[in-house]
Every structure is written in structure tokens, then in C-alpha cells.
Amino acid sequence: MSRTVSIQLTINGRATSLDVDTRVNLADTLRHVAGLTGTHVGCEHGVCGACTVIVDNRPVRSCLMLAVQAEGTNIETIEGLANNGELSTLQKAFSEHHALQCGFCTPGMLMTIESLLRETPDPTEEDVRIALSGNLCRCTGYQGIVEATLATAKTLRQEKALGAVAP
């Protein structure tokens, strides 16, 4: 039988305590217990990538991880990308390059790309496409998403070169 346990973790920089059902996955717990509904749930079996969040600096499928396994971790979700209501460089680029229509896949795309750009600040188009292979978009297509990613990488590199404070 499943039971409820209390876990401590960090979500978007804030220390948090959550009461989680041992049977429930991280995606549902973020949405229904933590109230962070930006993380989307598409397929629930690991193929669509809509539920991608960053756990301890690595992108993961939150539908394939139990919430109880997140004890002690540092989790970043789509809600953590904007800074005081101002969209991040990547989010702005998505808007500028028409990288979304319905927006269902967008949170997972953004978290995957966020993690890619931390590891690989100067990706090739192929790097971007391989990184995005685990995220499905059913309506916009990938061209705008790839362009937004490459444009963001360029902007962030320029900002860094100028010594500006990256958002």
C-alpha cells in the first residue's frame, strides 16, 4: 500500500517541504501538491518530454521519477526561468522566433534547452537537434525552436563577452 511521507527539497531555489504519496510521480506532485502546473504531462511513459524538469543539474522525465525519490534534490521547473516576471533570454527568443503555438511542449523544450546551453554554450545545429530528440512538438515544428536556441546561445555568449550580468 502506498503511504504519505514528508520530503525536503529545493524547488526553484526555495527550500520546500512536501507531503507526497509514495505511489505518485514527480510530475503530478509538482502540479498538484506544489501547485506548479507549468510542468506538463503528455504521455506518462517517457516518450514526449513535456514533463522535463532539471533535477540536480540534469534534465529528467518527471513522469518516470517518483516524487519520494526527489528527497534532498534541487529541482528547477519552468516557473523558475523568468526573473521577477521578466522573461529569460531563451523565453524571449522563443517568442521572437515563433517557437511555439499551443505551448503544450514548450515547458519541456525550455528546460531541455536550458540544460543544454549550460553544458554546451556554443552548440551546433546538430547538437541542438540531438538534444531536442527527446522532446516532441506536435504543432509548431522544430525549425523555430532550433533557431531560438541558436539565437539564445549567441546572445548569451555576447553578453558574457561583454561582461554583462546574464539573466
Partner 1 sequence: MKASDFTYHRPSSAQELAGLLASLENAKVLAGGQSLMPMMNLRLLAPEHLIDINKIPGLAGIRRDGDVIEIGAMTRQVDVLESEIIAKDLPVLKAALEHVGHVQTRSRGTFGGSCCHLDPAAEQPALCRLLDAEFRVNGARGIRVVQAADWFQGMLESALAEDEFLEAIRIKPWTGSYGYGFEEYARRHGDFAIAGAAAMLAVDETQSITRAALMIFGVEASPARLANAEAALVGTKLPDLDVAIVTSAARGLEAMSDVHVSADYRSHLGSVMIKRALLKAKQHLTGSST
- Summarize as ranges the residues that interact with ligand FAD (CB under 6 A): 46-47
Q: Which stretch binds partner 1 (CB under 8 A): 7-15, 32-40, 66-74, 88-96?
A: 66-74
Say how far apart CA 142 and CA 133 lie, in whole Å: 10
User: Which H helix or E strand runs over 154?
Assistant: helix 143-161
Residue 2 interacting partner from partner 1, ligand FAD, ligand FES, none (CB closer than 5 to 8 Å by kind): partner 1
Q: The cell 519520494 sits on which residue?
A: 68
Q: How far is the CB of 75 from ligand FES (least distance, A)?
A: 15
Phi, psi torsion values for 115, nearest 5 degrees: -70, -40
61 binds partner 1 (CB under 8 A): yes
Burial profile 41-74: b = 16 or more Cβ within 10 angstroms, e = fewer: bbeeeeebbbbbbbbeeebbbbbebbbbebeebe
Write out the binding residues for partner 1, residues 107-136 only, by CB under 8 A: 112, 115-116, 129-131, 133-134
Q: DSSP secondary structure string, 17-44?
A: EEEEETTSBHHHHHHHTS--TTS--S-S
- Phi and psi torsions of 27, nearest 5°: -60, -50
Q: Least Å distance between CB 103 and ligand FES? A: 5
Kindly tell me which residue out of 42, 80, 107, 144 binds ligand FES, with binding defined by CB under 6 A.
42
Which residues sit at the interface with partner 1, rule CB under 8 A? 1-3, 22-25, 28, 44-46, 49, 52, 55, 58-61, 63-66, 68-69, 112, 115-116, 129-131, 133-134
Please report, as ranges, the residues that interact with ligand FES according to CB under 6 A. Answer: 41-44, 46-51, 61, 63, 100-106, 137-140
